[in-house]
Structure 1
Amino acid sequence: MSDHEFGANDDLSLPKATVQKIVGEILPPHGGVAFAKEARDLLIECCVEFITLISSEANEISEKEAKKTIACDHITKALEQLGFSDYVPAVLEAAAEHKEVQKGREKKADKFANSGMSMEELARLQEEHPEQLSTILNSIRDDDDAVGAIESLASQTVALNRQDEQYGLLLLANKLTCDLRLLLPEAPVMMRAVNSFFSCSGKLFHVFSETYILQCYRAIFDESQALSELLKAKVCCLAAVAAVGAQYSPDTISKEVEVGLYNLARHFLEVTIEHEPLHAIKACALFAQYNIMNKEMVSLTYVETGLSMCHIYGINNRALRPDSIPSVEWRDLRNTWRTLIFFSSWLSSTLGYISGNAWSAEKRVLADLKFDDADNITEVVQTEMARICLLKAEILRMHLVFKDLTSLAVETIRGDLQSWYGELPESMRLGVTAHEDLPVGTKRSILHLHMLYLGAIMLLYRRVATQFLQSYAVGGLGGSLHLHPREAFVQQSAEAVLAASTSASIVKLLLDDDGVFKHCWLVIFQTYTACTILLHSVIQKQLHGFEPSRWQDDLERAEDCLSVLAFCGSQDRVAEQFHEQLETIYQTASAYVFSSESNGAFMETDDQSIPLRADNPFTPMDDVGEANYAYLLDIPPQANDSLVKLSFILLMMLGQPFGDRGAKEAAEVNLKEHWLADPSRYEYPQMAERVDWNIENRRMFQWDLSKLNIPPLEAMKVAGESSSSEGALDLGLSDSMSAGTFLGSSEPSGWTSAASLANPLRDNENMWGK
């Protein structure tokens, strides 16, 4: 269900995702019949009108009978009086079914509550008297005198600390021969979480088929089976899917249920690795997805574990399918491998991590990523998403390898990106009318694919921005910017601004179409980067004296980005921090008062006239597009000090995700010490042993920020003070936003500390003349 699906009239609406799912089940899967959004909305309105009509009639009937509660027979009478008597049998059948389900729910919910025994006591009893505990559990399930059975053992039972209830549950799950349903939420809650996963998450993350997960659900809830290791593996798969699905429905599924599902799933992962290793690979992908926004070390480890197992079973080699793996299962496993490659590459390009596993950097990975079925558009989308993320990771590797960015490196990467886009099937291009016939989820996945491509262009521009800061730290306002030849850098800057504007349009389109979920990390980070680039473009145009009509469009696109971040920020702390950080800059840019005499370095691109200074390497160019965007890489003399400060803050924000070179944790080439001190590493020791992967002794991640060459804040100040008026380049950055840090954190990613940071710009409003 969409996060903002309901407005003020919650009682007068229906879940759009649920209606869409019902329609999808009714329509033939390969019949070529599409169901438009307008038709879905009309269907929902008709359903609401029908429900309102029946309710009103039933209310009148109950009032005539002097009843204060509308009963089932009032509904059936209303249907008959309104001419819908054919509906009555189905309604009565549904009512009877609901009644039975409700009985079972109340009965099950009351069993342990009425027994007077806690999970801690059950765990302790299992250690000391397992045979007596089995008797008690059988009594509880059979509605016998459970209280009496427990009271007879009261003298032998010692209560444990109530804070260890979760541990007690897992102990029972591992050692006790009992009904696993006692460890899971109620069946309707589980089904709601599963439906949320398949209706809300992208196709890329559907590593388990919906059919298989429903089989697991029925095996656990509907079928009477003896407890076995295979059944525990099914619980792992089902709980992993439900845990991720619960993240998409925070309004209807509590955080406690979500965390409990995740803990139960990972508890059974060891069993799954031993008895269902291929399913364990898929579970690792889901665990990585679950942790990707708040426990990045855990997420990366699950990714590496999944890729390790893929390597063991040869899933990374598309041409060599083992005879032991059926072709259908092989296709699913290949999809899972591509998902893990996507996670690994996305985390690398976002955090600055480079995997230490030898096979992750093999050049053959791109070739192995080729899709197996060109007619399966879902598989094509998934493959292309993984390929573009690999290219983004290569951009990061280039950033780490080369001290200075060269035009050859820029042209090489641009060529790779253009080749990728040129090989993209025509049906995957933006604006293709064929998209109208695709399912909603597939269309959104195509938009996400293009966002990744645009993100790669912006990632390269972030490297250009870092080079700009280096050049400025060396030369200052009066020195050369040392970016030669200028054409490649200016052209890349132009493409980045266009990519940012297009990204802003896509995320706003997704938001208006109920296609943005508040914890979607892809949308959040893409929106943040796009907004930062657009605001920098606006500030640079203001620095050069462009008329408001020349930067108003960029400002409007930035406002669209802020609306998306505000929507996500209502539940996601990282999005909230991004929005708070950028909102202040946006307000400053919006309040700028244009004056044609305010800047002596006024740049007018309509007639390609740019006033020159002797040391300015960015002179007019023959190509109109390059000349139009030369303003991005130039600070004119006598520029407004406040705008100069703001421009450099935005450039530093673009470089921040790569971390602080002065931080001990980030500066280490090997994160072994940080990893050994991370409490979360104890989540999976047995898992690592089973795949023959020693986390402690292996160089899992490389993090050499000395190669990034991001100039420290002190260098920027010195450069400014040597060539400008006193205080002109005091950027006003607080300690929480020092140069080269990500949201002020000294950790490699900084995600976990985002919510606790103060807005560095809020305390410096006087700097902007407010």
Structure 2
Amino acid sequence: MQPPPGTHSPRSQQSRPSGVGATVAANSKRKHASMACEYCRFKRKRCDGNPRCRSCVDANKQCVYRFNDKRKASVRQERIQILEAQNKELRSLLDVLKYGNDEDAHAAFQALRSPRETALHGSPSNHLLLDVYGVSIPTFPSLSLDDLQHVRTDRGSRQSQSSLQTSFLPALRLFDYPPIFTPSQLPPEVDIRKGAELFLQVTAGLFHIMAMDEFDRLCARAYRSKIPPDTRVVAEICAVSAIGAHFNADDTTGELKDVLFNTAIHHLPEMLELSNLRTMKYLACLCTYGMVDKRKSTARLIQLSLDIARWNLALPQHGLSEASHDWRRLYQTTLFLECWLSSSLGYVPDLSGGEIGFAQPNIAAMEGLQDDIVTQIKAKEIVVLKARVCEATCGLEPPTGQIIEDHMTKLEGWYRKLPPNMTLTVLLNGDANPLTAAQQGALLLSHAMYLGAVMMLHRRALVAISDGILGGIAGSDIQSMPMQEHLARSVEAARAIVRIFILLRFGTATTNMHVRCWICVFETYTACTILLYNIALRTIQHAAERAETQLDLERVTTCLGMLKASALVDMVSQKMLTALAGVHDAVVAATGHQLSETSPPQVESRSILHCRLDGTGSSFEPYNLLTSSNKSPRGCLSAIYVFKRATDMLRDPFGHGLDAGFRLFPRDVGVEAVDWWSAAS
């Protein structure tokens, strides 16, 4: 009796007739039958079909039969799932060895050496490391629902355009953009390309996000592909284009800027699921946008970027592939943003010595590097130094003279190690060939951070001596050598910053972006406070030379003009301008210097580049806060009162308020504390 087709018994092979024809027939059937065990199939041996076949007995192997037909799609899919699970387990093990601490890595290594111990863990689950090796891996960083909601609802510091419109004119809506862009309704390519190009070009000298050819490939996938792009590609394009719109503000409406950013934020959970370089570049764009728009949620996005980079980035001693090199550069970009934001808003940066201690090439080694890479290295070095200066000067007590000298030595060492064509003297003289305008602009911002660090280093000492003078404490002398040295270095740095921003605005800029750049706004305000303090101090000394005081007041009016231009669209700049206004009025009245009344500053042409850049002339119209009704004769205001107000401005570098001026908050507290960006909230 014949068995049903497709069924075979291992014993039935022994009862088959012998002969050539029968053998050929049997072999042809056996080629496609699933009756041999796995070991015999692998070794291409004849299997006898026993529950434990002879080949497995001889080789001391476990005899396993699989009766599935691998030609079936369900079987293939099952096999793929098994392989994917194994791959995930192995990658998890590799993550522990790379990113886990020494104890976890040693436990995993010992478990690999002792596989028999797996029986002690009971029945295994899908998590190989936890159930088999007893080691847990770090979870992938993500945003909580509250953080995600905060990011999406944060409106930043941009002034409402409605307040700028004339009351009798209706609000014009020139374009009908959707709430968010979709694969079927993309933003106009011609409207976003110029801004993206300016953004990537201008920031390339400070930090790395992506090259323009990468953005071109994204656009090709979105605009020139026969298949509609997925939502993640749309999110990436909108993230780059949103910050690019800030750099091309003259040709981009605020409405388009908002829709681009809203689209990018809408797909944040999907982008986090990628957990790759695309995620890091996308987050870097959002963080940069938040720095420009002064959004309080930016600190949380930077923290998320740091956590993802730490989760993914290989340790420095491992060999660097092309991908890990990109991870390293993006990690340094995130460190740059963290250091700058923490040192300007007054919270402790989330850094460790190992992270900021990346080996940097010396001058000889940098000669073979691209200029963008060199400027990025120097920018990262100085912003880390600035963060360290803030930590040293914002303790419970003022820094000692030795601490100030040690940090001043480090700052001067940074400047001495600059390539010859990247020094401030060369940049101000216009001899920085062959650097491009964008590279020169990035270097000027790095020099502004260097000078800002110098002012911060001496600021606390100036306040301490001034408090002693105002309080009548013995030993507090304006004429003392430490006081004069702190003051001289601070004032010299403030005057240099004014020169930098005049040149930056008109000499090297290809965009008006610097009006709202947080580096420019913050250091402009800091330079103003130092210059006003210097004038007030010289006034109570009766040692102020009229010509020098007039020049410093002109420098202040230049800074105020910059802040006024920024305040038209930025609430944080408006808050800083208001804080400076009262002290400026008092100083002018106390010194008897009257500036000519002028109209509000207009947008200047590039021909202003030929104006004096030595700080004695202003490229802006003088910002006169005194009207004809409130001008006061000299001596009407107490010089001591003016000096106290100027000292109080120095006491509050981060906008915390006088009670918590020189204080760095812990990071988790600092991001919610009152600071300069709280004006936007």
What range is the shorter-chain TM-score in? 0.5 to 0.7
1:363 Cα deviation (Å)?
A: 5.0
1:653 Cα deviation (Å)?
A: 1.5
Matched, 1:361 2:352: yes
1:498 Cα deviation (Å)?
A: 0.1
Residue by residue, what CA displacement relative to the aligned partner does 1:2-26 show, whole Å, maximum 9, x if unpaired? xxxxxxxxxxxxxxxxxxxxxxxxx
For 2:347 and 2:568, the matched residues in 1 are separated by: 29
**Paired residues of 2:654 and 2:676 also in contact (CA < 8 A):** no
Q: Write out aligned runs for 1:65-76 (5 A).
A: none
Structure-2 change in CA distance of 1:240 and 1:593 (3 Å):
closer
For 1:269 and 1:319, the matched residues in 2 are separated by: 32
Q: Write out aligned runs for 1:413-424 (5 A).
A: 413-424=407-418
**Paired residues of 2:656 and 2:676 also in contact (CA < 8 A):** no
Structure-2 change in CA distance of 1:651 and 1:478 (3 Å):
closer
1:646 Cα deviation (Å)?
A: 1.6
Residue by residue, what CA displacement relative to the aligned partner does 1:628-660 show, whole Å, maximum 9, x if unpaired? xxxxxxxxxxx9962222222122222223454
For 1:431 and 1:664, the matched residues in 2 are separated by: 37
Structure-2 change in CA distance of 1:661 and 1:503 (3 Å):
closer
Residue by residue, what CA displacement relative to the aligned partner does 1:658-682 show, whole Å, maximum 9, x if unpaired? 4547989999966xxxxxxxxxxxx
Task: Give the secondary structure class of the aligned counterpart of 2:251.
Answer: coil
Matched, 1:494 2:461: no
**Paired residues of 1:410 and 1:488 also in contact (CA < 8 A):** no
For 1:451 and 1:342, the matched residues in 2 are separated by: 15
Structure-2 change in CA distance of 1:418 and 1:555 (3 Å):
same
**Paired residues of 1:294 and 1:752 also in contact (CA < 8 A):** no
Structure-2 change in CA distance of 1:272 and 1:573 (3 Å):
same
For 1:293 and 1:198, the matched residues in 2 are separated by: 14
Residue by residue, what CA displacement relative to the aligned partner does 1:216-241 show, whole Å, maximum 9, x if unpaired? 011101111255xxx43322221111
Q: Write out aligned runs for 1:639-678 (5 A).
A: 642-660=638-656
- Counterpart for residue 435 of structure 1: 432
2:468 to 467, 471, 477: 471
1:254 Cα deviation (Å)?
A: 2.3
- Counterpart for residue 256 of structure 2: 257
Mind listing any 5+ residue stretches in structure 2 that lack a counterpart?
A: 1-175, 594-634
Structure 2 residue identity aligned to 1:468: I
Task: Give the secondary structure class of the aligned counterpart of 2:252.
Answer: coil
1:365 Cα deviation (Å)?
A: 1.4
**Paired residues of 1:657 and 1:749 also in contact (CA < 8 A):** no
1:530 to 522, 527, 530: 527
For 2:183 and 2:190, the matched residues in 1 are separated by: 16
For 2:386 and 2:526, the matched residues in 1 are separated by: 14
For 2:548 and 2:212, the matched residues in 1 are separated by: 50
Mind listing any 5+ residue stretches in structure 1 that lack a counterpart?
A: 1-164, 174-178, 596-638, 671-699, 705-745, 756-770
For 1:483 and 1:414, the matched residues in 2 are separated by: 23
**Paired residues of 1:511 and 1:564 also in contact (CA < 8 A):** no
For 2:468 and 2:353, the matched residues in 1 are separated by: 34
**Paired residues of 1:318 and 1:368 also in contact (CA < 8 A):** no
1:205 Cα deviation (Å)?
A: 4.6
- Counterpart for residue 84 of structure 1: none
**Paired residues of 1:455 and 1:526 also in contact (CA < 8 A):** yes
Residue by residue, what CA displacement relative to the aligned partner does 1:145-188 show, whole Å, maximum 9, x if unpaired? xxxxxxxxxxxxxxxxxxxx99x967xx8xxxxx6041x32222
For 2:670 and 2:578, the matched residues in 1 are separated by: 29
Matched, 1:446 2:437: no
**Paired residues of 2:656 and 2:675 also in contact (CA < 8 A):** no
1:263 Cα deviation (Å)?
A: 2.2
Structure 1 residue identity aligned to 2:668: F
- Counterpart for residue 34 of structure 1: none
Structure 2 residue identity aligned to 1:503: I
2:564 to 563, 566, 579: 566
Structure-2 change in CA distance of 1:513 and 1:576 (3 Å):
farther
- Counterpart for residue 180 of structure 1: 183
For 2:583 and 2:412, the matched residues in 1 are separated by: 33
Residue by residue, what CA displacement relative to the aligned partner does 1:502-552 show, whole Å, maximum 9, x if unpaired? 001111122233725221111111111111111111121122222302322
Matched, 1:348 2:342: yes
Q: Write out aligned runs for 1:2-13 (5 A).
A: none
For 1:377 and 1:402, the matched residues in 2 are separated by: 41
Structure number, greater radius of gyration = 2
Task: Give the secondary structure class of the aligned counterpart of 1:431.
Answer: helix
Q: With structure 2 as the length reference, what TM-score do the two structures score?
A: 0.60
Q: Write out aligned runs for 1:52-451 (5 A).
A: 180-182=183-185, 184-199=186-201, 201=203, 203-225=205-227, 231-275=230-274, 277-314=276-313, 317-322=315-320, 325-326=321-322, 329-355=323-349, 357=350, 360-363=351-354, 365-368=356-359, 374=367, 375-432=369-426, 434-451=431-448
- Counterpart for residue 55 of structure 2: none
For 1:186 and 1:278, the matched residues in 2 are separated by: 26
Task: Give the secondary structure class of the aligned counterpart of 1:437.
Answer: coil
- Counterpart for residue 748 of structure 1: 674
More displaced 10-residue stretch of structure 1: 581-590 or 552-561: 581-590
Q: With structure 1 as the length reference, what TM-score do the two structures score?
A: 0.54
Task: Give the secondary structure class of the aligned counterpart of 1:334.
Answer: helix
Larger RCO (CA within 8 A; separation ≥ 6): 2
Report the aligned-residue RMSD.
Answer: 3.5
**Paired residues of 1:288 and 1:298 also in contact (CA < 8 A):** no
1:477 Cα deviation (Å)?
A: 4.5
Structure-2 change in CA distance of 1:558 and 1:352 (3 Å):
same
Structure-2 change in CA distance of 1:702 and 1:368 (3 Å):
farther
**Paired residues of 2:586 and 2:642 also in contact (CA < 8 A):** no
For 1:225 and 1:388, the matched residues in 2 are separated by: 46
Structure-2 change in CA distance of 1:593 and 1:399 (3 Å):
closer
1:276 Cα deviation (Å)?
A: 5.5
For 1:667 and 1:487, the matched residues in 2 are separated by: 27
For 2:472 and 2:662, the matched residues in 1 are separated by: 33
For 2:359 and 2:184, the matched residues in 1 are separated by: 41
Task: Give the secondary structure class of the aligned counterpart of 1:404.
Answer: coil
For 2:662 and 2:420, the matched residues in 1 are separated by: 42
- Counterpart for residue 761 of structure 1: none
- Counterpart for residue 674 of structure 1: none
For 2:348 and 2:665, the matched residues in 1 are separated by: 11
For 1:393 and 1:654, the matched residues in 2 are separated by: 18
**Paired residues of 1:239 and 1:265 also in contact (CA < 8 A):** yes
- Counterpart for residue 555 of structure 1: 553
Task: Give the secondary structure class of the aligned counterpart of 2:516.
Answer: coil
Structure 1 residue identity aligned to 2:493: A
For 2:522 and 2:275, the matched residues in 1 are separated by: 35
Structure 2 residue identity aligned to 1:240: A
For 1:497 and 1:662, the matched residues in 2 are separated by: 22
**Paired residues of 1:294 and 1:751 also in contact (CA < 8 A):** no
Q: Write out aligned runs for 1:748-767 (5 A).
A: 748-753=674-679
Task: Give the secondary structure class of the aligned counterpart of 2:210.
Answer: coil
For 1:346 and 1:525, the matched residues in 2 are separated by: 11
Structure-2 change in CA distance of 1:497 and 1:512 (3 Å):
same
Structure 2 residue identity aligned to 1:389: V
Residue by residue, what CA displacement relative to the aligned partner does 1:340-388 show, whole Å, maximum 9, x if unpaired? 1111111111111113x4xx12255133455885421211111111111
**Paired residues of 2:271 and 2:279 also in contact (CA < 8 A):** yes
**Paired residues of 2:179 and 2:259 also in contact (CA < 8 A):** no
**Paired residues of 2:204 and 2:372 also in contact (CA < 8 A):** no
Structure-2 change in CA distance of 1:431 and 1:443 (3 Å):
same
